[in-house]
A and B are shown apart, each in its own frame.
Chain A
């Protein structure tokens, strides 16, 4: 069974940094496209970033480009999102998602999310 377990969320001040993680199990992590999608409280879904199976290709939403870095560690079956220069508008539940089809196709498996609150 595919399982994705996010962790590392919490309260951080504007301008601060935070790294969130997603522990994967139940599938071949090193062969899977992985992504981060966020959802601000009471709002819709917003795509954040995607990383290829090898880690060699990474793409970011304009809203986070230059501030967020997606990475993966195949030895730990873990996906990361390093977030810096955080802004109030980055407050959201961050979901880890697994790509099950083509690189830009839909995400068939999601974690339960981790809440990041950016506030002074």
Chain B
């Protein structure tokens, strides 16, 4: 069982917006800015999409945005495109063990 909770799957049609949640505790997501989101296509290495809750690395589309409320972080993808179909993982620093923890991952299907 992962330390951070994500929905197993989400889906949306091209052009729509979807949001993936990542729920933790005050010892991780709720207590620190160190929340990141990764995209992973089958057989490929993960790609950083969001870091420190709501920052986009250079080169990442502005269609991807991050936010946090209490102990839950969210990744929103607007204007869904077929290429967005992938697995998405959140991660956070946790003070419980001074480590990084990942969510179990969410499979995004573009209908």
A-B contacts, CB under 8 A, total: 68
Cβ of A45 and Cβ of B102 under 8 Å apart?
Answer: yes
Say whether, besides A106-B51, A111-B45, A46 and B99 are in contact (CB < 8 Å).
no
- Chain A contributes a number of interface residues (CB within 8 A of B) equal to 24
The size class of the interface chain B forms with chain A is 20 to 34
Cβ of A100 and Cβ of B102 under 8 Å apart?
Answer: no
Cβ of A45 and Cβ of B105 under 8 Å apart?
Answer: yes
Q: Which residues of A contact B55 (CB under 8 A)?
A: 101
Please give me the residue from chain A that is nearest to B50 by CB atom.
Answer: A106
Cβ of A106 and Cβ of B102 under 8 Å apart?
Answer: no
Most buried by B among A35, A60, A106, A113: A106
Q: Is B69 an interface residue (CB 8 A)?
A: no
Q: Which residues of A contact B (CB under 8 A)?
A: 35, 37, 44-47, 50, 59-62, 95, 100-102, 104-108, 110-113
